[in-house]
Structures are given as structure tokens and as C-alpha cells.
Amino acid sequence: MTMRYQEPARIPNAEIDHVLASGNPEAIADACLSIAYYEDDWEWAFKRLKSVAFDLNRPDSLRSLAVTCVGHLARRIHDLDVAMAEEFLLSLGGDQAVASAASDALDDLRIFRMSD
């Protein structure tokens, strides 16, 4: 099996909430990536990624991806609320399903925003 990199597709904000509510794991993953790569409104983005990360009814892989995407926001968005993002990521430290992703995203936050 050969893996190829594929640039995440941009999903319009008007469609994101519908996709996140769809129950389709692949579509939800695409929505999380679209948010992480293209959305500049960190509050809007953070709210949606946080809802996926905290939803225990979602597959662990989706929850973990949403947490990873918060790290991408930290890397990309300079006016992100560092304290809010840090609190969120630290709160996931005890959740074995996403703890590793939370630790990695926290590293991104510390490297790209807390060292400013």
C-alpha cells in the first residue's frame, strides 16, 4: 500500500457544523483538518475542535485528530488565547484515548505561542 499526501480540502464554514453533526467519521476528519488549516477565527475553530475532542461517542481516532488540530491552530494563529488552549489540552492529560495527542499539541502551543 502506497500512501500519498493530499492537501486538506477547504470546507466552507457554513457547512462545517452540518458535517460535524453528520456522524460520518471521514467527513468529520476532513472538517477538522479544514478548520485547522484554513480557519483564521480561532474562537470559532477552537469551539468546534473542542466539541469533537470531548465527545466520548466519537471514535478515539477522531477525538485525537481534533486535539492535534488544536496544535495546528497554535502553530498558525498568533492571537490564539494561549491560556484557554493550555487549559483545554491539560484537561485531556488523563484521557488515555487522547493524552498523547494533547501532549504533542501542548508542545506546539509552548513552542509556537508561549515562547513569543
What is the pLDDT at residue 74?
Answer: 92
The pLDDT of 70-85, averaged and rounded, is 93
Query: Domain range spanning residue 96?
Result: 13-114
What is the pLDDT at residue 7?
Answer: 87
Task: Return the DSSP state at 89.
Answer: H
Residue 8, in any domain of the structure = no
Q: 23-56 pLDDT, tens per residue?
A: 999 999 999 999 999 999 999 999 999 999 999 9
Query: pTM value?
Result: 0.91
Residue 72, in any domain of the structure = yes
**Inter-residue contact 70 to 105 (CB < 8 Å):** yes
Strand, coil or helix: what is 94? coil
Residue 5, in any domain of the structure = no
Instruction: Give the C-alpha distances (Å, rounded to integers) separating 67 from 4, 47, 55.
Output: 23, 12, 12
Residue 78, in any domain of the structure = yes
Residue 1, in any domain of the structure = no
Residue 50, in any domain of the structure = yes
**Domain count of the chain?**
1
The pLDDT of 5-14, averaged and rounded, is 91
Lookup: cell for 14: 457554513
Residue 101, in any domain of the structure = yes
Residue 3, in any domain of the structure = no
